[in-house]
Amino acid sequence: MTSSLLAQTRKLAYHFNVKYLSCLAAYLVSAFVLVAAEVKVAALHPLLGDMARKIGGEQVEVVDLLKPAGNLHAFEPTTREMAAASGARLVLASGKQLEPYLGRLKDSLPATTRILDLGASVPDVPVQDGGSHAEHEHDDDCCNHGPNDPHWWHTPGNMKRAARSLAAELSKLDPEHAASYKENLKQWNREMDELNAWARSTVTAIPAENRVLVTGHAAMGHFCKEYGFRMIPIQGISREDEGNTARLASILARLREQKIPAIFTEVNASPKMLDTIARQLGVPTAPLITDGLSADRHDFPTMFRYNVETMQKLLQNKK
């Protein structure tokens, strides 16, 4: 074999070994990541899934069963979604009657899988009745959750309560990494405290008489109680009501009497009826993320900042 041919052979062998070792290293890294996830978690709401990723870190694998652009009130896990959650040791639920299918879900899960009701760690807030819907029946989507507002994820304080429950449960399932969960919880709490301080400062720019949230359904009760707002949910409005002039006149009279400064439509819901009411009253509108579902704002800090900034923009001017 000539020296030049020998040199080329050695060069090819070298590049082959480098490529082989690179592939092997990539495989080992991926295998390590898979092994590192000690606990698989399935979340029934994207905000809960994001919180699980923050608290669990690399020790937790999270599967979101309800997608960010989904329908909270119509959702129930399908066979495909349950297959994706196969092997989950923990299922995170909002609770407070938001998931009427939980009993059926529990029956379909292995005995080793636990459903953690995070809403149980949050005090109940009764639905505020602003008087705008006292004379009609409520539709099922907005009112089948009992007398309390189940949308508890609208305050940093509530998210801290839920995170404490989650960190405690993860520590039970994976005690070897309890210190990591505890440290992640501390970081989460610091972020929630900063968000709370920012929100309180931002709200001061809104005149007290303007701190009124007129929305399509009663979903902002926890926020209103925490930050001193009054909620007026126009519950029960549906497509069938769009041509009901008597009903519309009654709602307009009530809202005009209360001199409401703005109306807030809802992301992922039709704004048509609320836009009609706003035009009649001559007030501005903007969408809020009331169900915690948004294609591009599906973590709590982003959603919370968006909602507060939207409120400030519409409500900061005096009547």
Compute the Cα dihedral for 54, 55, 56, 58 and give only its sign.
positive
Under 8 Å between Cβ of 263 and 213: no
- Tell me how far apart the alpha carbons of residues 112 and 193 are, in angstroms, rounded to a whole number: 35
As a whole number of Å, the CA-based R_g of the chain is 25
Q: What is the pLDDT of residue 236?
A: 52
- Tell me how far apart the alpha carbons of residues 179 and 186 are, in angstroms, rounded to a whole number: 11
CATH superfamily of 207-316: Nitrogenase molybdenum iron protein domain (3.40.50.1980)
User: What is the residue-level pLDDT of the chain in tens, covering all 319 positions?
Assistant: 455 545 554 554 555 454 444 444 444 444 444 445 689 999 999 999 999 999 999 999 999 999 988 888 889 999 898 898 899 999 999 999 999 999 999 998 999 999 999 999 999 999 876 544 433 344 444 445 678 999 999 999 999 999 999 999 999 999 999 999 999 999 999 999 999 999 999 999 999 999 999 998 889 999 999 999 999 988 654 444 555 677 778 888 989 998 999 999 999 888 888 998 999 999 999 999 999 998 888 899 999 999 999 999 999 987 6
Under 8 Å between Cβ of 98 and 119: yes
**Closest of 116, 118, 119 to residue 173, by C-alpha:** 116
Q: What is the pLDDT of residue 44?
A: 96
For the whole prediction, is pTM greater than 0.95? Answer: no
Q: What is the pLDDT of residue 139?
A: 43
Cβ neighbours around 207 below 10 Å, total = 13
Under 8 Å between Cβ of 126 and 149: yes
Q: How far is CA 191 from the centre of its chain?
A: 16
Domain map (residue ranges) of the chain: 39-126+148-194, 207-316
**CATH architecture of structural domain 39-126+148-194:** 3-Layer(aba) Sandwich (3.40)
Cβ neighbours around 10 below 10 Å, total = 10
Do 39-126+148-194 and 207-316 fold alike per CATH? yes
Q: Which amino acid is at 118?
A: L
Under 8 Å between Cβ of 98 and 153: no
